[in-house]
Amino acid sequence: MRQRVGFARALAVQPEVLCMDEPFSALDVLTAENLRSELLRLWQGGEIPTRSIFIVTHGIEEAVSIADRIIVLQRDPGRVQAVLPIAIPHPRDKRSPEFQTLVDRVYTVISRPEEDADELLQTSDAASEMSQVPLTVMDTKISIDSDAQRQPDTKRKPMLPAVRIGSVAGLLNFIDEDGTDIYRLGQSLQLDVDEIYPIIEAADLIGLVDVQEGDVLVNDRGAEFIKSSINQRKALVRENVLKEEGSWLIPQIYHLLGQSRRSNRIPQELIFDTVLLKHFTPQEARKQLEIAIEWGRYAELFTYDALSGELFLVEGEDDIVHEELERPDLLRQQLQVTKTESEDIREKTAER
């Protein structure tokens, strides 16, 4: 009700530009669809003087169903990665090949932030002549640095996804042998792209899946992971996080602990001052350390003593509490926890 009242108040002042942040997120599916349709009817029919509507959303299907142009934003650093004009006429059929192709394009861009979007989209569309939606990539990347404490020329390091390895282990059971469309996977688990993508990103980082053209596929290492025992899974994760560039923080902490002359223990402040604060804001640094400890525990590399505020190497299985989701029927419950993972980390930070 509040969101509908908000729409009415906004339209009553007859704005030239209407800006909305997740305007339909708190509504049920039917109400949201009706409100979207009514807004489009008013705008396209010229019944309101609004000349432009700007919507911030994590719902890819929502963006494709409404927008004339999609701007894909990336982080670390914040920038415009790609701009995709949409030439599909209204009303748009979500089941049409053109619609689904465009949804896959957006997923492809989001899932491969390190690659050039123009080349990536040309490659992904080489085998499909069904829909030719023009793509314009910004030649000049727009850097956004909201932290005044960070030097402008500081090189950003990749961030660990804020998910548990147990969520990754469970998600693999929902991916078909020949691959699964990320959009449909999110639909089946009732997760938005910003909720399911970090889990897929973590699985990709560990080397368990391959992401191609909006689809996620369990690779040979992932298939081995699914069949393995808990200890074998931990060994696979340990092997990959120590060598992958995207998980650079974990081997760096492990190296510092190995160099320590005091029982392989170091205070967390040392990691903040010498490692994290060189690349992240204080809030981001705290979050990254929380995630690194979570992954380090799973891989039996190191853990954290909350009383002393120190990290230390894991010398045996008694030093660590093992937590992993093994049953696929419990994945949805685990993934719902993942939906608030970032909020949990922020709450822990505030308590400290």
What pLDDT sits at residue 41?
84
Claim to verify: residue 206 and residue 312 sit in the same structural domain: yes
Residue 324 lies in a domain: yes
Look up the domain containing 54 and give its range: 13-124
Q: Cα–chain-centroid distance for residue 185?
A: 14
Q: What is the pLDDT of residues 68-90, one digit of tens each?
A: 999 988 776 678 888 888 888 88
Summarize the confidence of residues 39-51 as an average pLDDT.
84
CB atoms within 10 A of CB 47: 10
Residue 120 lies in a domain: yes
Residue 158 lies in a domain: no
Question: What CATH number does the domain containing 33 carry?
Answer: 3.40.50.300
Residue 229 lies in a domain: yes
Write the DSSP string, 31-98.
Answer: HHHHHHHHHHHHHHTT-S---EEEEE-S-HHHHHHH-SEEEEEETTTBEEEEEEE--PPSSP-TTSHH
Claim to verify: residue 109 and residue 245 sit in the same structural domain: no
Claim to verify: residue 182 and residue 318 sit in the same structural domain: yes
CA distance 125 to 101: 9
For 84-99, give one letter per residue: b (16+ CB within 10 A) or e. bebebeeeeeeeeebb
Query: Do you find a cis peptide bond into 328, omega within 30 degrees of 0?
Result: no
Claim to verify: residue 120 and residue 210 sit in the same structural domain: no
What pLDDT sits at residue 292?
93
Summarize the confidence of residues 39-43 as an average pLDDT.
83
What pLDDT sits at residue 61?
83
Domain count, the chain: 2
Residue 181 confidence (pLDDT) above 60: yes
Write the DSSP string, 287-298.
Answer: HHHHHHHHHHHH
Claim to verify: residue 176 and residue 99 sit in the same structural domain: no
Asked whether the beta carbons of 70 and 48 are under 8 A apart, the reply is: no
Residue 2 lies in a domain: no
What pLDDT sits at residue 30?
67
What pLDDT sits at residue 157?
82
Claim to verify: residue 186 and residue 280 sit in the same structural domain: yes
CA distance 317 to 130: 55
Residue 330 lies in a domain: yes
Instruction: Calculate the average pLDDT of the chain.
Output: 76
Contacts (Cβ under 8 Å, ≥6 apart) of 113? 74, 81
Domain boundary among 124, 150, 174: 124
What global pTM score does this model have? 0.57
Domain boundary among 104, 124, 144: 124
Q: What is the chain's alpha carbon radius of gyration, rounded to the nearest angstrom?
A: 22
Percent of the chain with pLDDT strictly greater than 70: 74
Structure tokens at 36: 């979207």
Residue 241 lies in a domain: yes
Q: What is the pLDDT of residues 108-148, one digit of tens each?
A: 787 776 666 666 565 555 434 433 333 333 333 333 343 43
Structure tokens at 312: 């230390």
Q: What is the pLDDT of residues 243-298, one digit of tens each?
A: 888 889 999 999 999 888 777 788 988 898 888 988 888 888 889 999 999 999 99
Domain boundary among 92, 124, 156: 124
Claim to verify: residue 302 and residue 195 sit in the same structural domain: yes
What pLDDT sits at residue 119?
61
Claim to verify: residue 85 and residue 21 sit in the same structural domain: yes
Claim to verify: residue 182 and residue 298 sit in the same structural domain: yes
Claim to verify: residue 75 and residue 199 sit in the same structural domain: no
Residue 149 lies in a domain: no
Claim to verify: residue 89 and residue 231 sit in the same structural domain: no
Claim to verify: residue 173 and residue 99 sit in the same structural domain: no
Structure tokens at 227: 């069949």
